Structure 1
Amino acid sequence: MIALLVRDLRLAVRAGGGFGLGLAFFLIVVVLVPFGVGPESGLLSKIAPGVLWIGALLACLLSLDRIFALDWEDGSLDLLATAPVPLEGIVSMKALAHWLTTGLPLVLAAPALGVFLSLPQQGYVWLVASLAMGTPALSVIGTFGAALTVGIKRGGLLLSLLVLPLYVPTLIFGAEVARRGAEGFEVMTPLLMLGGITFGTLALLPFASAAVLRINLR
């Protein structure tokens, strides 16, 4: 399993779908927002949590179609499906590799990019906490979407359409945690909801993704 994780990390970097692409997109979104809404710091600080969460969500979408595509093209996915390792474990390693190359860099970069949007000082801790808790759910849900569309030529648009509605609850509660934290309000209720969504997806979706892959590989 560790060897599979290391292999996926190397493939993500070599194929150009690693953390660099997601970070560049995240930076572009954050830099363009002040040009669109104006440089007023009061307005920027109010919308900063939502903008940062939307930027992170869209950045996660960029590399979802690569989770299984490379293995499908070279036939490795068939070998992995017949390996003595449970397919659920393989799917989990794929999701972990995606989070390490996409989600984790976004979590680490978010505080620096929050400066561009005049994020209040008390909001940085809760922004990082919400992204650290929510981005694993984005990767696991994205892995499920990638399993649904594996083998479909040019399925990137279809994948985005399938995954985006599933991302909405994570976006709502993640942005709410960051917003309440920035404004000094109580954050435990949306934080618990966000944690429930993340742990629920971690517990259930690997089995759903594995079942979908078995159907697609028949």
Structure 2
Amino acid sequence: MRALFWRDIRLAVRSGGGFGLGLAFFLIVVVLIPFGVGPQTSVLRVIAPGVLWVGALLACLLSLDRLFALDYEDGSLDLMATSPLPLEGVVAVKAMAHWVTTGVPLTLVAPVLAVLLNMTPEAFVWLVATLAIGTPALSVIGTFGAALTVGLKRGGLLLSILVLPMYVPTLIFGAETLRRGASGMEVQTPLLLLAAITLASLAILPFASAAAIRINLR
């Protein structure tokens, strides 16, 4: 498991699909928004929670098609499916590696980009907290989508269509928690719901992903 984790980390770093592409896309989204809506600081402060969460969500989506595609093409996925390691554990490790190479960098760089949207420093703690709690769910849900489309030619578009609707609850509660935290309002309810989505995804989706991979490999 440990070797598989570090293998995926090295592949993501070398290809740039984890660190480089996701961070570059996140930066582009946040930089372009002020050009589109105007420089009014009051407007930027209002839309900042939604913009940051949508940018992080789409950045996580970019590298999902690589999760199983390369392993499927070179036969590694067949070996993993027939190895003594449980396939559910393999899926969980791959989701963790995706989160470490995508979700963690996005969480760390988000406060810096939030300055461009005139977000108050008091809201930075909620920004980091919501992304730290919510991005694992994005990686696990994305892993499930990648498992459903493994082996399909040009499955990237289908993957996006499948995954984006499943991302909506995480987006809603993550952005709402950040909005309330930035406004000094009570955040307990949306924050607990965001954490519940993440925990439910971690508990259920690795088994569903493993089952989808077994079906696609038949």
TM-score normalised by the chain length of structure 1:
0.99
Q: Which residues in structure 2 correspond to 1:162-201 (within 5 Å)? A: 162-201=162-201
Please list every run of 5 or more consecutive structure 2 residues that lacks an aligned counterpart in the other structure: none
Aligned to 2:50: 50
The whole-number CA distance in structure 2 between the counterparts of 1:100 and 1:107 is 10
In the alignment, structure 1 residue 125 sits paired with structure 2 residue 125: yes
**Superposed, which structure 2 residues align to 1:28-43 within 5 Å?**
28-43=28-43
Q: Secondary structure at the match of 2:121?
A: coil
Question: 2:121, 2:84 → 1: CA distance?
Answer: 50
User: What one-letter code is carried by the residue in structure 1 that aligns with 2:8?
Assistant: D
Query: Equivalents in 2 of 1:40, 1:183: separation in Å?
Result: 18
Correspondence for 2:116: 116
Q: State the 1:19 CA deviation.
A: 1.0
Q: Distance in 2 between matches of 1:33 and 1:137?
A: 25
Distance in 1 between residues matched to 2:92 and 2:174, nearest whole Å: 22
**What secondary structure is seen at the aligned counterpart in 1 of 2:151?**
coil
Further displaced range: 114-123 or 84-93: 114-123
Cα deviation for residue 11 of structure 1 reads 1.2
Letter in 2 for 1:150: V
Q: Given the alignment of the two structures, is residue 134 of structure 1 paired with residue 129 of structure 2, yes or no?
A: no
Q: Deviations over 1:78-107 (max 9, x none)?
A: 000001010000000000010011110000
Q: Does 1:62 align with 2:62?
A: yes
What is the CA distance between 1:114 and its match in structure 2?
0.3
Deviation at 1:120, TM superposition (A): 1.7
Partner in structure 1 of residue 6 of structure 2: 6
Structure 1: 5+ residue runs without aligned partners?
none
Shift in Å at residue 16 of structure 1?
Answer: 2.9
Runs of 4+ displaced beyond 3 Å: none
**AA of the residue aligned to 2:172:** I
CA RMSD, Structure 1 to Structure 2 (Å): 0.6
Give the distance between the partners of 2:82 and 2:15, measured in 1 at CA: 25
Distance 2:121 2:133 in 1: 20
Letter of the aligned partner of 1:195 in structure 2?
Answer: A
Please report the TM-score for the alignment, with normalisation by the length of structure 2: 0.99
User: How many residues are treated as equivalent by the alignment?
Assistant: 218
Q: Which residue of 1 aligns with 2:16?
A: 16
Q: Distance in 1 between matches of 2:15 and 2:153?
A: 18
Identity of aligned residues (%): 75
What residue in structure 1 maps to residue 211 of structure 2?
A: 211
**1:122 match: secondary structure:** helix
User: Within 1, Cα distance between the matches of 2:15 and 2:73?
Assistant: 13
Q: Deviations over 1:99-149 (max 9, x none)?
A: 011110000000000000001222111111000000000000000000000
